[in-house]
Amino acid sequence: MNKKIINISLIGMPGSGKTTIGGKLASKLDLNFQDSDHLIESENKSTIQSILDNEGYLELRAKEENIILDCNITNSVLATGGSAVYSEKAMEFLSHNSLIIYLDIPIDVVMQRVGDYSNRGFAEPNDKSPEDVFSQRTKLYLKWSHIKIDGSQDIDSVVDNIIASI
C-alpha cells in the first residue's frame, strides 16, 4: 500500500512551540522534521540573533525566504520562523505545497515563554512593541493558515489536536 504524502508547515509567534511540537508531530506521523531557523543558522554558520544584530531584520527575513523556497518539504513537518509570514513568495510556496497550521497562543503566553525577546532573533524593527508585532502577525497567520490550533495547551494535546484536525 502506498504511503500518503503529507507536508505540514507550522507558523506562529516565537514561543508558540513550532520546533518542539513540529519534532514530536513529525515523529508521531513518521515524517521528516525541518526547522527553518536551524537551516538558516547552518547555512550561514551563525545564530539567528547574530544575523539579526549584524545584518538587520530585513536581511534575516530575506535569508528565511530563500531557505523556505529551497526546502524540500515532501513528507515533512517544517517549523518556520515567526516572521516567515512577511514573505508573500515563501507563504505562497508553503500554501501550495503543504498544509499550513497556525499555532495560536495569546500575547501573555508569548511574553511568558519568550521573556525579553531582544535576544530571541525577533525579526522586527526595534521600535515595535511586542503587542504591535503580535497584532500585525496574527492577521498574517490567520490569512495564510489552513488550520488554526490552540497552541497554549500542553505539547501532547497540541500534537493530538493537529493529528485529529488533519
Q: Return the C-alpha cell found at 81.
A: 520562523
Find residue 33's DSSP bridge partners: 77
CA proximity to 98, closest of 2, 11, 3, 160: 11
Convert the pLDDT of each residue in 111-157 to its tens digit.
887 776 555 556 677 777 778 888 999 999 999 999 999 999 999 99
> CATH number for the 7-165 domain, one of 2.60.40.1180, 3.40.50.1370, 3.40.50.300, 3.40.120.10?
3.40.50.300
Convert the pLDDT of each residue in 19-52 to its tens digit.
999 999 999 999 999 999 999 999 999 999 899 9
Q: Pinpoint the alpha helices (H) of the chain.
A: 18-29, 36-44, 48-55, 57-70, 88-97, 107-114, 130-144, 155-165
Check: pTM over 0.85? Answer yes or no.
yes
In contact, 23 and 114? CB cutoff 8 Å: no
Q: Kindly list the domain boundaries of the chain, sorted by start residue.
A: 7-165
